[in-house]
Chain A
Amino acid sequence: MAKTSGKSDMLPGTLEMLILKTLTLGEMHGYGIAAHIQRLSADVLQVEEGSLYPALQRLQLKGWVSSAWGKTPTNRRARYYKLTAAGRKQLASEVSDFSRVLGAIQAVMEGT
């Protein structure tokens, strides 16, 4: 896929929702999260990968994500992020908001 046309800007706040969603799969380190998002979105949602870190910082501050240092399978030190109960609740409400908005947009688009 040509990166010039396929790389779309994300709606604000989307990145955080994607991170939360990704973390429902289990503990992950930063690169793991970025790779997962990229893989699932078939490279359409290509984040500036580094912006993941300020977002993770924000999520931790809000108490939705917690982190701890651990080891990678290759025995490297890495910080693993985990969804908290509050984060799970937040994700649920964000997803429902998101689908409502998406549904509304869809309805408008198809109605014309």
Chain B
Amino acid sequence: MSVSPFQWLRALARRLDFHLNRDRYARELSEEMALHLELKQRDLELSGVPAGETAAAAHRQFGDTARLAESSAEVMSMGWLEQSVQDARYALRSMRAHPTFTLAAVSSLALGIGAATAVFVLVNAMLLAPLPFPNAERLVVPYRALTPGIVTAADTVPWSHARYEALRSAVPAFEEAGFATWDEVNVRTTPGGGTERIVMEFMTPSLFQALGVGPARGRGFQQQDADEAPVALVSDGFWRRALAGDSTALGREIIVNGTPVTVIGVLPASFAGFHEGAQLWIPLEALPMLIAGRGGQPPRVDRRMGVMVARVRQDVSIAAANEQVGAALARIDEESPEPFTRPGSVWSAGVLPLAEARRHPLVEPLLGIFSLVVGGVLLIVCANVAGLMLARARARRGEIGVRIALGGGRSRLVRQFLTESMLLATVGAVPGVILGQLAAVAIAKHRPDLPASFVLLRSTDLLEGVSLAPDWRIAAFAVALTLIVAMLFGAAPALAVSRQSASGLLKVADATRGSVSAPGRKLLAVVQVALAVCLLTGAAVMLRSSAALLRTDLGFEPEGLAMVRIAPSEAGLGVAARQAEWLARIAALPGVHGVATHNCLPFAGDCMLGPITGVDDRAAEEGTYPPIEHHLLSPDYLRVMGTPLLAGRTLDAAGDSSAEAPAVLVNETAARLLWPDISPIGRTVRISPDPEAPPFEVVGVVADARFDGLDQPVRPAIYRSGGDGGSVLLVRTAGDPASLIPLVRREIAAQDPGVALHDATTGVAVVRDAASSVVFVAGFLTTFAILAMVLAAIGLYGVLAYQVTQRSREFGIRMAIGASRARVMAMVMRQGAAVVLAGVLAGSAVAWWGTPFLSRFLHGIGPRDAGTYALTFFLVAAVGLVAAFIPARRATRVEPVLALRE
């Protein structure tokens, strides 16, 4: 018979009503039954049954009221739902009854689930969150790379505007394409106000069309903009900060590098451009009005290098677009070669999805490592809680035996256990997820500085989206994770219960036999130790690597060194023009031991590189030597930076740069490279493509100083006097260098208000940042490895302590018939040692397979460093034996007499 949904719903409503008003229903039923019996009695009396017997007769014919009431209630039962509620109630009661067990299980679950959630929040923000563009999956970044294989920014050549124009019209798959380049500019928002150094993007208006982004306020770029005074769009942040979020600010003029620019619109907060920190956007045509070219020439827009973003047409696949770009570029390069991409030098060209191009190539391996680590910790947590549950299942075997013997269904019992696991997992998950979100926010705040030069498109900070705000992906993850975890640790005890027979469970006399689930628990302990060994090995390798990295010989003295960039003033006054005066003023500040200028910051990737075109009288063929680093400095540089002079003399203030053969210094690497067998002093080197330019004469050799990265090989370098490229101010002090920077800022602002100081940092900070990704990974791994070790030790302790309790009678008997305490202790220790040994061997094997994944973060140490493995081995063995020792000693404290009497 079919039941209509309406009927079904009404029945459900009635059932619910019954369950919510159980008492009323019971009262009413008993009232009905009482009336029934009374009327029956009356009828029986009328039919002649003696008065004394009517009550009994009525009851006899009616049946057992209690049983009937029960079967009446059964009609209303809600099946599994009601049983689940019962199970949950029961589970809650037993959780309350065993607070220690509950606290241990819930807190370790909270830790495990929290760790997994934290990593998922990061994955969500960096890999899963959608880009803030419509149909973002059609957006691609065309690239050309000089190396085969993986494409990182370091392997690609940026596009010139000319190439962009050529490619754009040559690729039919592009629905629209745009180009953006950038520069740092000095910006004043009020005529008399201070000057800020800001990243400005120059872009073709077609870029906004390709992206599908329009201004949130005001208007976008239009065709006629090109003919008039420059117009700009500003970021939401700039509008709120510098323009006070004023809607009347639209149409206002701001001063960019001395030129008035009209603000016409504000972009949505989600748009951050394609260069880190970009706050202003201006049509590319306006570039010559704002940026000075080299050597007084107007800048050539067609030679500007930048990024390209294209939208692929709906009816063309991304793969097809990829091929079209490769083919088109080959053709274009053939027709009009560019100097930096000689024919044959481009290995591959194509398109990358925008989402991928924005991501740092280290992000995926980093998140991969994190996921493995938290996965490991989560497994240990599951194993631990499963162990606890098994121990409790064992303690409850009496209860379970009775239930089975009385006809309790096994499936019901299994469900009871799973309900308990579910409840535990849920109670642990709530604080866990909150903890995880907090941790993710903290990680996002203190994340490592990944070298940005590897990102194809520097863009919005992907971790900016990490917050405590609710997110359906995170919620879904947390729910799924809780379910899986509950199944993982709940399965073992549930299976253990379902396998046992009632008689076995009810027998008390088998206490001397090992627990039924002992092998299972030991296996769990082995797994825990193995996982802890894996994590510890990884952590140890990373720690040794980061220590090695921080010990790297820098070639300069980072302590007490303040560094700040100086942007040329609006009037075009570079450092060179005012250098002498500034340096004198700053040198006079209290606490300053020395001041110098330089053209680049360590580890910022902004040092100039150039070819070596001649050594002594020989001309050097292109490609004979690797490129050489150009350092332009003021006279005090070596002393301020703390780079030792190894031979010859330093550069002096005057003369050196103007002489016929200007004096230069070279670093050790350059000396070894160019004059392997002889002293470089007095030799000459050419670094200009112009053969008429005078050569440089080497007057001294300095120690190798690292500018490229802590783990990069030192490049050959040449040091010469000069300030025209110089833009970094170096100040040495005996005190705190960071506190010196405001003083320097004030001193320079007092003289030249149009000059902007930016990117202030200290020597210690740049070194720390350069090592941060390795230190961060090491810290992360170490934290979790220690957590894993502690959990594994607790797990091992739990197994052995439990066994000792179970076998105390046996130990008592053994000692009563003459076994020494040492022997009993050895018995327990042997079991512990077996678990530890098995775990260490299994863990080392997995680590041997897994640590090469860390290679990208390792420096000065191999992933399979034998010393590290030995260290881990002994550490885990020591911790494991301590964990085993406590229960072993307890075994020897068993009083034979008491144990026997039990």
Q: How far is the CA of A77 from the CA of B32 in the complex (A)?
A: 9
Given contacts A31-B40, A62-B11, contact A49 B62 (CB under 8 A): yes
State which residues 35-93 of A face B: CB under 8 Å.
35, 46, 48-51, 53-54, 57-58, 60-63, 72, 76-79, 86
Known contacts being A53-B68, A57-B75, A61-B75, is A48 close to B61, with CB within 8 Å? yes
Q: What 0/1 readout, one digit per residue, does chain B (1-40) give for beta carbons within 8 Å of chain A? A: 0000001001100110000000000001101110110011
B68→A54 contact, CB < 8 A: yes
Minimum Cβ distance to chain A for residue B77 (Å)? 11
With contact pairs A35-B43, A63-B10 given, residues A54 and B36 touching in the complex (Cβ less than 8 Å): no
Instruction: Judge if B64 is at the interface, Cβ distance under 8 Å.
Output: yes
A33 to B69, CA, bound (A): 18
Q: Which residue of A lies closest to B7 (CB)?
A: A63
Asked if A61 and B15 sit within 8 Å, CB to CB, the answer is yes
Given the known interface contacts A31-B39, A79-B28, the answer about A50 and B68 at a Cβ–Cβ threshold of 8 Å is: yes
Tell which of B15, B28, B32 has the most Cβ of chain A within 10 Å: B32
CB pair A54 B71 closer than 8 Å: yes
16 further A-B contacts with Cβ under 8 Å, apart from A61-B75, A79-B32, are: A29-B35, A34-B36, A48-B61, A49-B61, A50-B33, A50-B63, A53-B29, A53-B32, A53-B72, A54-B68, A57-B76, A58-B75, A61-B11, A61-B76, A77-B35, A78-B32
B677: chain A residues at CB < 8 Å are none
Taking the closest CB of chain A, its distance from the CB of B458, in whole angstroms, is 67
Closest to B12 in A: A61
Q: Which of A31, A35, A63 has the most CB of B within 10 A?
A: A31
CB interface residues, B 256-310, toward A, < 8 Å: none
Say yes or no for B74: interface residue by CB 8 A criterion: yes
Total interface residues on A, using CB and 8 Å? Answer: 24
B65: interface (CB < 8 Å): yes
CA distance A57 to B76 in the complex (A): 8
Q: Which residues of A contact B (CB under 8 A)?
A: 29-31, 34-35, 46, 48-51, 53-54, 57-58, 60-63, 72, 76-79, 86
Chain A contact residues: over half helix, strand or loop, or mixed? helix
User: In the complex, which residue of chain B has the Cβ closest to the Cβ of A49?
Assistant: B62
Chain B residues contacting A76 (CB-CB under 8 Å) are 35
Chain B residues near A61: list those with CB within 8 A: 11, 14-15, 75-76
- Chain B 29-70 interface mask (CB, 8 Å, partner A; 1/0): 101110110011001000000000000000001111100110
Smallest Cβ-Cβ distance to A64: which chain B residue: B7
Cα(A62)–Cα(B11), bound, Å: 7
Chain B residue nearest to A56 in the complex (CB)? B72
Asked if A63 meets B31 with Cβ closer than 8 Å, knowing A49-B63, A57-B75, the reply is: no
Ordered by A's residue number, 10 sampled pairs between the chains whose C-beta atoms are within 8 Å are A46-B61, A49-B63, A50-B33, A51-B71, A53-B32, A54-B72, A54-B75, A61-B15, A61-B75, A78-B32
**Chain A residues positioned under 8 Å from B33 (CB to CB):** 30, 50, 53
A74 to chain B, nearest CB (A): 9
- Residues of chain A contacted by B69 (CB below 8 angstroms): 53
Residues of A within 8 A of B35 (CB): 29-31, 72, 76-78
The CA of A58 and the CA of B43, in the complex, are separated in Å by 27
Q: How far is the CA of A63 from the CA of B6 in the complex (A)?
A: 10
Cα A72 to Cα B31 in complex, Å, equals 14
Q: How far is the CA of A57 from the CA of B72 in the complex (A)?
A: 6
Residue of A nearest to B10 (CB): A63
Contact residue among B31, B43, B63, B75 (Cβ-Cβ distance under 8 Å from A48): B63
Interface residues of B (CB under 8 A from A): 7, 10-11, 14-15, 28-29, 31-33, 35-36, 39-40, 43, 61-65, 68-69, 71-72, 74-76
Chain B positions within 8 Å of A58 at CB level: 75
Shortest distance in angstroms between A40's beta carbon and chain B's nearest beta carbon?
15
**Cα–Cα, bound, A99→B65 (Å):** 34
> B64: which of A35, A50, A77, A86 is its contact (CB, 8 Å)?
A50
- B32 surroundings in chain A (CB, below 8 A): 29-30, 53, 78-79
Q: Which of B7, B10, B36, B72 is close to A49, meaning CB atoms less than 8 Å apart?
A: B36
A residues in contact with B68, CB < 8 Å: 50-51, 53-54
Residues of B within 8 A of A72 (CB): 35
Q: State A31–B41 Cα separation when bound (angstroms).
A: 11
Assembly CA distance A77 to B395 (angstroms): 53
Most buried by A among B7, B36, B68: B36
Given the complex of chains A and B, what is the CA–CA distance between A2 and B39 in angstroms? 23
Interface centre among B43, B65, B72, B76 (most CB of A within 10 A): B72
Q: Which of B10, B11, B35, B43 has the most CB of A within 10 A?
A: B35
What B residues does A77 contact at CB under 8 A? 31, 35
List of A residues within 8 angstroms of B10 by Cβ = 63
Q: Which residues of B contact A29 (CB under 8 A)?
A: 32, 35
CA distance A49 to B68 in the complex (A): 10
Contact B11 A51 (CB under 8 A): no
The residue that B36 contacts in the complex, of A30, A48, A62, A86, with Cβ under 8 A, is A30
CB distance from B158 to the nearest CB of A (A): 75
Which residue, of B7, B31, B61, has the highest number of chain A Cβ atoms within 10 A?
A: B61
Q: How far is the CB of A36 from chain B (nearest CB, A)?
A: 12
Chain B residue at minimal CB-CB distance from A48 = B63
Q: How distant is A94 from chain B, measured CB to nearest CB, in Å? A: 10
Q: B11 near A50 (CB under 8 angstroms)?
A: no
List A contacts of B71 (CB < 8 A).
51, 54
| Contact B7–A62 (Cβ < 8 Å) | yes
Residue of A nearest to B28 (CB): A79
CA distance A49 to B38 in the complex (A): 13
Whole-angstrom CA separation of A76 from B39 in the bound complex: 11
Q: Chain A residues with Cβ under 8 A from B64's Cβ?
A: 50
Asked if A50 and B75 make an inter-chain contact with CB atoms under 8 angstroms apart, the answer reads no
Known: A62-B7, A79-B32. A50 touches B39 (CB 8 A): no
Q: What separation, in Å, do the CA atoms of A86 and B62 have in the docked complex?
A: 29
B65: chain A residues at CB < 8 Å are 50
Top 9 nearest A-B pairs (CB, nearest first) are A50-B63, A50-B68, A57-B75, A48-B63, A54-B72, A31-B39, A31-B36, A54-B71, A50-B62
> How many Å from the CB of A81 to the closest CB on chain B?
10
- Give the residues in chain B near A53, CB-CB below 8 Å: 29, 32-33, 68-69, 72
Expressed in whole angstroms, the Cα–Cα distance for A48 and B75 within the complex equals 17
Cα–Cα distance between A60 and B39 once the two chains are bound (Å): 23
Q: Bound state CA distance, A35 and B47, in angstroms?
A: 13
How far is B29's CA from A60's CA once the two chains are assembled, in angstroms? 14
Q: How far is the CA of A62 from the CA of B6 in the complex (A)?
A: 11
Nearest to B70 among chain A residues (CB) is: A54
Residues of A within 8 A of B36 (CB): 30-31, 34, 49-50
A92 to chain B, nearest CB (A): 13
Contacts of A49 in B (CB 8 A): 36, 40, 61-63
Contacts of B15 in A (CB 8 A): 61
Residues in A with CB closer than 8 Å to B29 are 53
Q: How far is the CB of A67 from chain B (nearest CB, A)?
A: 10
B211 to chain A minimum Cβ distance, whole angstroms, is: 60
Collect the chain B residues with CB atoms within 8 Å of residue A63's CB. Answer: 7, 10-11
Q: Which of chain B's residues have a CB closer than 8 A to the CB of A46?
A: 61
